[in-house]
Structure 1
Amino acid sequence: MQPQVAAAPPSPAADLPEDVHVEILVRLPAESVLRFRSICKAWRRITSDPRFLAAHARRRPAQVVLYRYLESTGCKSRPLGYAVDIALDVLPVSGEEEAGRRRRLIGYPRLLNEVLRRR
């Protein structure tokens, strides 16, 4: 006879109306919204909705989310299923940057080098 496993109690967040979830998610930075899309199907659906994206853009200053792949240079032969880490950076494009640290958006290959040089 197999032991009975109790089902996990429902999350308190599951009882909240969807508009409350939307109101919380719309207040988060773009980087967090991208990461939280993988929490559950409902959050992925919410964060993919054009109305959510428009509401989020109205609340946040203009930003560009840059993602880049981080590969290990020491591994010449990559096994099947080789995983690559992804780094997320948020670049402000409004005029609210720190004084003396103005950034400009330029072509993709140079953009990545520009971001990496400033780190």
Structure 2
Amino acid sequence: MGHEVAERRVNPRVSAVFDLQGIPDEGGVVARMQGADLSLGGLRCTSTADFPEMTQLAVRLLLPLAGEKQTEPVDVKAVVVRRHEIPSATSDDLRYELALFFTGLEGDAKDRISRFLES
């Protein structure tokens, strides 16, 4: 006998592939990442850089404009809430799946992400 698990997310997620960059708040290397889904609450992505859980990041989303090859950069603050190493055939190709929670989603960024999610 199964039981239903209640959805805990407040904001619906939309599957979308997009590029993004992340920089730890204490500085360091700019990590190139690829987003897999997005909501007003956060996103899921893969990264070649490893960030421990609770790392605060300055994130630049490179959201594609509707019907164009151009991207629209959107800057937000986020924290890593989940980190999972993706198995690889070689140690040179390590990747990480990260879940990021937006901690600083200001009005303009929120509006731009909303427009992207609705397109």
Asked if TM exceeds 0.5, the reply is: no
- Higher-helix-fraction structure: 1
Q: Which has the higher contact order (CA 8 A, sep 6+)?
A: 2
TM-score, normalised to structure 1, is 0.22
More strand by share: 2
